[in-house]
Amino acid sequence: MKARVKILCQNWKRPGKPRYRTYEVPFSAGDKVLGGLLYIYKQLDPCLSFRFNCRGRHCGECAMMINGKPGLACAIPMSRDLILEPLKNLPVVKDLVIDRGHVYRSIVERIPSLTQGKDRAEEVVSESRGCKRLRTVSAEVLERVIRLDDCIHCLCCMAVCPAYKKAPEIFLGPMGLLALAASSGQIQHTDLSEKAALCIECGRCEEVCPRGIPAHSEAIRMLKQNR
């Protein structure tokens, strides 16, 4: 089978005006978009820039817009007509590469720290020593954290969030709110509902999450109720 792959690339003659380049890529059933990208890089265009690393849905590096929807290139199957673009709403470095580290840092720096300092460290260990048990947490908190604190920071959710698009400097976006909600119950936050206020509850973040984290239906709803 052959695929027509259109990729939004940098235009070096007119900076700031990226353009689509089209490649013809052979593929067979079961092949992933990442396979197509590697074919293009090796056979057709060594200048095409895209991230990937683990090839197994763990590292989150190969997230991009695939036919208008964010997803991991290592997970989404090839198809006859493909349009690939960098993740929306995020600063582009080149072609399909976005400034992942900067986005993560700028958001997480604004979240109250969960790190509990030296004293807490000793308490955690001494509590567990001897009885060899972890401190007891309520089943509700445990199950919530297990569901929510499972993020690989691929930023797919940020690429579909209309509120983040509008106010990236103020709004934490789904990824930030998720981190906040995952920590809620472990330490006290004061202004949870305020942080989530800009969310318009479209639920798209949850639809595109490659790890199936209930970012909207659980995390953000919980924050809005200031729990």
Partner 1 sequence: MKVDVGQYGTDILIVGGGGAAAMAALEASRLGAQPLIACKDTFLGGATVQASGGTSVPFLPEDSATAFFDDTMKSGAFINNRKLVKVLTEEAHDVFYGLEQYGILLDRGSTGEMRSFKRSEGHSFLRSYADRRQFHGVLAGLKRSVVQRRIGLLEERMLLKLFTEEGTVRGALFFSLPDGAFECVNAPVVILVTGGCGQLYATTTNAQCLTGDGYALAFDAGAELVDMEMVQFLPLAFPYPSTVRGQLIGMCSLFGPNVKLYNGQGERYMLRHDPEKQEYATRDKVARANYTEIQEGRGTKRKTIIVDPTQNDRSLVGEYRSALAVAYDLIAEIFGEKAARWEAPFEAIPSQHFMMGGVRIDEDCRTAVPNLFCCGEVSGGVHGANRLAGNALTEILVFGGRAGRNAADAARITPRAAIPAELVRSSVKEMQVCLNSLDGVPPGVTRQRLQNMMWDKVGIVRSGEDLEKALKSLQRLEHLADGVAPQCRIRQWNREFLEALELKLMVRTAALIATSALQRRESRGSHFRRDYPETSEDWCRNVILSKTPDGAIAARVSEPTGGTG
Among 80, 105, 166, 227, binds partner 1 (CB under 8 A): 105
Among 153, 189, 195, 204, binds partner 1 (CB under 8 A): 153
The strand pair at 63-66 and 81-85 is best described as antiparallel
41 near partner 1 (CB under 8 A): yes
Among 1, 142, 197, 202, binds partner 1 (CB under 8 A): 142
Contacts for 72 with CB less than 8 Å, ≥ 6 apart: 57, 60, 62, 63, 154, 156, 210
Among 24, 150, 194, 201, binds partner 1 (CB under 8 A): 150
Residue linked to tokens 């005006």: 17
Binders of partner 1: how many residues, by CB under 8 A?
Answer: 69
Query: CB under 8 A: which stretch of 91-99, 158-166, 190-198, 217-225 binds partner 1?
Result: 91-99
Taken in order 217, 221, 223, 227, is the CA torsion positive or negative?
negative
Query: CB under 8 A: which stretch of 63-71, 81-89, 108-116, 193-201 binds partner 1?
Result: 108-116
Among 1, 114, 167, 170, binds partner 1 (CB under 8 A): 114
1 near partner 1 (CB under 8 A): no
Binding residues (CB under 8 A) for partner 1: these are 12, 28, 30-32, 34-35, 38, 41-42, 46-47, 49, 51-59, 61, 74, 93-95, 97, 100-101, 104-105, 108-109, 111, 113-118, 120-121, 124-125, 128-129, 132-137, 139, 141-142, 145-146, 149-153, 179, 182-183, 186-187, 211
